[in-house]
Structure 1
Amino acid sequence: MCDRYLFKEFTQAFMVGLLTAMLLVIALKFQQATTQLARDHATVGQLLEQIYWDLPNVLEMALPVATALGAALATNRLARDNELTVLRGTGTPLTRIFLPFAVLGLLLAALGLVTVNELQPRASERRKQLLGMSQNLPGTMESEQTTRGGDSGEWLIQFQSGQRTSTTTWELQNLTMIQKTRVLLAAQARYDANSGRWSLQNVTEHRYDSQGVRTGQSTYPTYPTPLIARTDFSSTLPFWGLQGGFQTAERFQSLQAAARSYAKLGNKKQALISETAGWFKLALSTMCFVFALCAPPLAFKFSKAGSFAGVLLSIVIVFVGWNTVLFMKSVALSGWIPPVLCAFATHVLFLIIGLVLLMRAD
């Protein structure tokens, strides 16, 4: 009965925090979407659809904020009304009292992982189509770009520059096509969107076994094997975009596969960027569990400061946590520490702080 009551208390505060955080993030994104879609003479329906497909990005930002806010507000209210004092008077330690919060935080972290790794990539493709990226590509693409394609087996396709020569054909330079067991390097390439066929010239093919060990190499003036890898370039993304923020549209598995492919080619910088983007894609969502553990003891400690203390503490927790994760991402990109350790260093630090505060309170 006590667990159910605590569950309800946390859920009510969490829903208030989630609605507030989502409205704030949507307001910011609404302004950006309005500017771009108005320039393309979009309808109100298209604008609303853009906001709908942006909801996974909104949830990625809002879930950790709402978790910290819900845990802090619920604990603050229970402490000020002496309900925690009554529970502790029965001999129940704080670690047991706050267990429902930890369980809810774990469930929210799982929801966040599904959102960023499954819903976000699908919604991103739909959002890009809505913005007309696949139909209104610039005539010339100069910076290094990466896209994906494939009818039978996924390809990672990277090119240095390219030009759209008609509504269905592209001419690309310095192309790299990466699959599980082979890497193709072509000086020039032509892509036909109608058939999905690639014509490659001046090609070097590197072959690998299932363990990633190179087994052979061949060169061709024109690649002899028919190559079909359909892409509408809607997933085109400058790879430097992976270095900033958390909202990377690629799945974690795809980013790790890209990192391994770049490592095979000897491109350590791009391999590090891809690996870092993959691990930090998971970092923010799993902070829900961390906030659910460290916010309650902090809110309990400062509950006498008034009802506003819960709100203030949740803001401080999120601000410090967010900036610590950003700092650790910079450390990971420097190559000093493995990205996976940097991604979850903040989690370990906050969990230790929460556990220390709990033990002292008991």
Structure 2
Amino acid sequence: MMEPVFPEPTEPRESWLGSTEPVVNFLLTSTREQAVAGRKWVNDCYSRFPDENSKFRGRLRSERDEDYLTALDELFLHERLLSSGTVTNEEGGRGPDFRIYRDSTYLGAIEVRSIFTRQDWSDELFQHGTISDELNSRLKLGNWFLGFKVIQLERQPSFQSLTRWLKERLEELDAESPNSGASKPPPVTYTTTGVRLEFQFIRRTSAQPPRPGDRIIGPSAMVGGFDNSAERLRLALKAKVNKNYDLRGAPFAIWVGAEKIILSVEDVTNALFGDEQVSFPSMALTRARNGFFRPGRNTRLSCIFVAYNWAPWSPDTAVVVRFDNPYGSVAFPDDITPADYRLSEVYRDGESFKLDWLPHFPSIG
């Protein structure tokens, strides 16, 4: 009997992951209902995945988030493709990731590319998460939750001094009358050499006492700034298309795994057909000539698929969106991993064409 990728943990763990823990730890260590369902799905799907040297199994258990999440995207796509015919993985020891056959007839290939948060945003979240994890290990949840944002961080703070300062602030708030104390007092700033952290205190309203594992600091900070998701997708697609794969004159698609907050449908449309812009003085909406799909460019690519809203404990919630390349040399078969929504050519008149959403613009929650 095949050894499962994720055996059931021997020790209970109901708490969520720390902010800086590898994402794979949820399936490795958690005993929550979602983790149990996720392990079952991965183990079941892996039993049908060709992995003679167990290299793919190692990626599914990787502590490097990008390797782990990309492997999950590949496993998810492989499972979907099985109903289309016979599926091979990296035939001859090289890509594309999957080739599909039906009754010995070669149908086409799909390559997987996962898209992640911008590196500078990831670094910011990791910086915030490091402080959150340290404080959650030193402070117990009582009457107040904490939130904070980094104003300045030229070095790591002394967590002993920071913890002592926070305990003093919490004691001061607890000393106030419950009737006169605000549920969300004004923020206060911890300042020392090279460090400024602004803390917000939020009164805990539940009548139930905190449970073991409850944290005083919740999810990671929000990050923001100029969103370059469309350009990052263009670069990712270019890297995949430029690989010297033997496509055998057959259809070729790229499967993109992404979260909506990282890569929206609008981002994908801009990446493929050009950034939306306004023409002056008419104020008409047009598209820049920087789209990945252009006449005479990237014609080997038939389409891309983008998978949203899926997780190993809820694969059925996935929403798959297909974007056809109007200049592609070969169309991708409709019956291979059908999409929920599709931006497709509805008619062509000489060099012009019209693209429209079928059945309508994607509804992604």
Q: Please indicate the TM-score interval, normalised by the length of the shorter structure.
A: under 0.3
Could you tell me the TM-score, scaled by structure 2's length? 0.26
Q: Would you tell me which structure has more helix in proportion to its own residues?
A: 1
Q: Would you tell me which structure has more strand in proportion to its own residues?
A: 2
Could you tell me the TM-score, scaled by structure 1's length? 0.26
